[in-house]
Chain A
Amino acid sequence: MSENGRIFLGKTTTTNQIASTVDEFYFWIKEDAEVQPYDFVTAIDGNFYSIGTVVEIANYTDAMSHLSNRIISDIPGGPLLDRLSTTVAKVDVFYSYQIKEGKKQEKIYPVESGVDVFVSTKEEILEALNAGQSQNQYFPAGIISRSIGEEVIVPLQPEYLVGPEAGHMNVSGISGLATKTSYMMFLLYTINKKYPDKYINIIFNVKSADLMNIDVKSDDLDEDDKKIYKLIFGDEIFRNGSLEPFNNVQYYQPRGENGNPLSYSNRRGIIYAFQLSDVYQDLDLLFSDVRDEYHTAESFARFVARDWNEKSNCWEIRGISQRGRGNNQLFSKDISTWKELLDLLDNFTDEISRIYGLALSTVSRIKRELGRLTESPIFVSQRNRNEVFLREVIRNSTPGQTIVIDIAKLKKPEQTFVVGEVFRELGNILNLETEENHRNAIIVVDELNTLAPAKQESPLKEQLIEIARKGRSNGFIIFGAEQFASEVDNQIIGNSSLRVLGRTSAMEISSSAYSNYSRQEKNTIMMLRKGEMLISYPTFRSNVKIRFPKPPYKILGRNR
């Protein structure tokens, strides 16, 4: 403890080889000081303050080589004397300022050698995270654990997460250990607690029944989780001793055989299904994972949309069918269901080929693909009155509502189609929006690497990129996650203002998607534990390691 009551850690050090810069400085750590990576420290040189996080700690001795130490080990019992030794921490600067005439002014300047370094106060940490600006409104992104014990909430300035300055979040990390979904849901929860009726929450449940109980109280929160929630929201968050989960939640499950839900969950939500007449304009989404180098499947989808008669609600095929030389006949067919569509392609291959200028082999291929893609019971000739069309649900949703769309039990092409439908509707809303009917939505979607892969074009990917590019200014925000960020399109990652990394494998982290992380940060990322994340954010000059609690709803099994 120093004279002014602060906890003294050591002094800054520069050498003729290693300088301090406006971005970083080093300090030697006094013997009994407690410092760990990602602790916040403050160097104070008169009225100049430089606040940052410890990113690396290294111990040095005066041994000029490992061989020197090896030689010593030959002495029976080891040497009596200890070597000169010091432990040095590297600090990434977050914010530096000087106090001039009683006011704090940002001063971007390196710290000199020999300056005292202390544990940062809570106020200094918040100053550093907010780059000196006081924040009345913020989203809590988690907490910073500190060696001295006191924890600090990490504030995110809203305009950089949900627009208009920047938007979107991307979370990546290995399955299970990275706790990606939990983090997305935690942040969604905190945003909704701060702004209860501002956002429509659209959540895709992609595995098991993970997100099918988000309105059911958790029975799994430990004391540490509760402590974090209390720190963030105060004691009043625990009504009747337990934490309120999400409310105003509606679950949508895909139609299965006999109209039963196709779901891992026992819950009975609202069934969704697709008639051809619902999605005749979106057949390209259905072909998303079909290899289509010559855009023939895409052309077919466009012909269907073009010739669709909205009055009679069918695909009107009209043209000259030539069966044999000089034997011209008028061909006319009306198609309104999936079955009729498949029958048409089965029985009138030649006619479709001639009328639309498609090769016979192309029509046959489309027939095969359509047959494969629409075999799921979610594709129906006629929805019953209890079954809904998802795009209508999205269209009619209202702020404060949480929509969970279960796609866990669907096959991959069907999942892609459902997600694509939702995003296409959001795109439509985006395009038709006026100041009067403006709505904000947060869409939580996992497995982005299959929806917007880095090396493959698809209509769905285009749709996602459009939302990623334009959404921040219109209030449509994507909370996306994937195991491998390297497999997701750069525009999705690049447009995400909040980038969150959970534990990540060594092979993945060596890819170019992580090139802006330092070696020390990469090592940290590979060793993160459950409930720990490394986050980067536009207002942070460096990355911050945070902790967050388990989500406030019931989680089935051992998933977090």
Chain B
Amino acid sequence: MPYTKLGSIDQIAEVIGRHLKEEDISVVLFGDSPIEEETRPDIDMIDDNNQIGRALGDFRRTIEAIPIENNWNTEFRKININEGLNNEYLLNYFIDGSIRTKYLGELITSNGSGGALMLASIGAIAVKIDYGSNKVLPVITKSKLYVYMISNLSDTTKERIKNELGKLNPPVNVEFLTQEETQENIRGAAGGKARNEMHNTEIEVAKVARSINPDLGWIVIDGALRKKEFIELDRAIGVAKSFGQKVIFKEGGTKTISYLAGMKKGERSKVYRYKILSSNNESDEKDTLERIAFWYLRIREPPPEMIPLGGIVKVDLSLKENNEFNNITEIADNLSESILKIADPSIFPRPRWPSFLYPIRVAEEYLEPILYSREEFLRLGISLKRVMYNV
């Protein structure tokens, strides 16, 4: 009999349902509502803007970017595609994470205070390019299930739920959010926690991938480098399909991000750094952004009906300790060449296809069955009802 997640879902429902019942808390289930991620547009871009906002301490401001290359003067630079592979800049591992969160329903106590119950299925994967067979193969996967509860539960109940869910096979994590943390947006708060955990899981996977063969090639993270741990990872780059647009490029004059629309396939921009003033608030985001060099690379021409920045990826590179690269042009050229070489096949006509690197698409395909499906989430609601109300 093939493995399904239904058995473990029933166990989760049993633990949560039993304790809520004991505390006389009822659940108003949301039923067949869509999975949260399906309702939220371009989460990468939102995260990018948030990261910049936190680094600057002001969510309304734009951030300045200054070039760190001065050895060429054209607006964009054509990348030479050489025959054969450059072993020094080989892109070996690709890390991708994904989450599915589901707002299960509201929790209502007997004294009338409210709360919420959310589930998050989190997964991360490392795929590897086997340059011998030209195939993309899975290497490491990790998955986690998180329960997010916002309610005035007693400490004892919280501990018991945490312990019992932690003992399940596979263990289930639970986080109790305070009303202050969630403010008015319960779903957004839990979603943010889940995304943070997804990045943590990506880091775990990336570290394992790096440890498999410490001297081998580069690791590519899907998306921007958001975490300190990514910055510290040796030979890791982030490749983001979508990116924040509140950036001002100080290059002679001032340019907005729309100047990138003129970039042709196979060209890259200059390598930039963010200009962050020491007067800005200290934060993890500020620390991270200060240590990133980045450039833009067009991997495909978008069709006329798409936005002009489609087909452009933003490449994040962690700067060395002294925050300088002597040979940044050579590094950016070689990494860009490696990216261009592995970008195809295209995944047309899937959403955002012009900006996709094919290994990331493969990683997503492998991630799909790792995550809990919509039907499995629904099963939790049904099981919960059965436990709490004997229906």
Contacts and interface: CB of A to CB of B under 8 A. Distances in A.
A82 B348 contact: no
B78 interface: no
B20 to A, nearest CB: 32
A156 B342 CA distance: 56
Interface stretch (B209-217, B238-246, B355-363, B378-386): B355-363
Interface string A102-126: 0000000000111100000000000
Nearest to A76: B81
Given A46-B1, A62-B361, A115-B2, A81 B346 contact: no
A112 B2 contact: yes
B172 to A, nearest CB: 23
A433 B148 CA distance: 86
B350 interface: yes
B347 A84 contact: no
Contacts of B344: 72, 75, 79-81
B98 to A, nearest CB: 17
Interface string B336-366: 0000011011111110000000110110010
B342 A80 contact: yes
A75 B343 CA distance: 11
B136 interface: yes
B348 A81 contact: no
Interface string A186-210: 0000000000000000000000000
Interface string A59-97: 000111101110110010001111110000000000000
Nearest to A12: B2
Contacts of A71: 346, 348
Contacts of B365: 62, 84
B347 A80 contact: no
Interface string B117-129: 0000000000001
A67 B347 CA distance: 10
A288 to B, nearest CB: 63
A45 interface: yes
B134 interface: yes
Contacts of A79: 344-345, 358
Contact of A113 (B2, B346, B358, B359): B2
A80 B361 CA distance: 15
A233 B3 CA distance: 47
A72 B344 CA distance: 7
A113 B4 CA distance: 11
Contacts of B2: 112-115
Given A81-B358, A82-B134, A113-B2, A72 B345 contact: yes
B341 A80 contact: yes
Given A81-B135, A82-B134, A64 B342 contact: no
Contacts of B358: 79, 81, 83
Nearest to A115: B2
Nearest to B3: A114
Interface residues of A, number: 22
A75 B362 CA distance: 20
Interface in A10-62: 45-46, 62
Contact of A64 (B3, B129, B133, B348): B348
Contacts of A69: 345
Contacts of A72: 344-346
B232 to A, nearest CB: 29
B382 to A, nearest CB: 19
Given A64-B348, A64-B349, A64-B350, A81 B1 contact: no
Contacts of A84: 136, 362, 365
B259 to A, nearest CB: 27
Contacts of B362: 84
Contacts of B348: 64-65, 67-68, 71
B347 A68 contact: yes
Contacts of B361: 62
B135 A82 contact: yes
B134 A80 contact: yes
Nearest to B362: A84
Given A62-B361, A84-B365, A68 B346 contact: yes
B130 to A, nearest CB: 10
B350 A81 contact: no
Nearest to B136: A81
A69 to B, nearest CB: 7
Contacts of B346: 68, 71-72
Nearest to B344: A79
A442 B362 CA distance: 62
B176 to A, nearest CB: 36
Contact of A81 (B3, B134, B349): B134
A453 to B, nearest CB: 54
Interface string B2-40: 110000000000000000000000000000000000000
A421 to B, nearest CB: 65
Contacts of B1: 45-46, 112
Given A80-B134, A115-B2, A63 B345 contact: yes
A27 B153 CA distance: 49
Contacts of A112: 1-2
A83 B349 contact: no
Contacts of A62: 347, 361, 365
Nearest to B357: A81
Interface of A: 45-46, 62-65, 67-69, 71-72, 75, 79-84, 112-115
Q: Which 9 A-B pairs have the closest CB atoms?
A: A114-B2, A79-B344, A68-B348, A72-B345, A79-B345, A82-B134, A83-B345, A80-B341, A81-B358
6 contacts: A68-B345, A72-B344, A79-B344, A81-B129, A81-B344, A81-B359
Interface of B: 1-3, 129, 133-136, 341-342, 344-350, 358-359, 361-362, 365
Given A79-B345, A81-B135, A84-B362, 6 more contacts: A46-B1, A65-B348, A65-B349, A68-B347, A68-B349, A79-B344
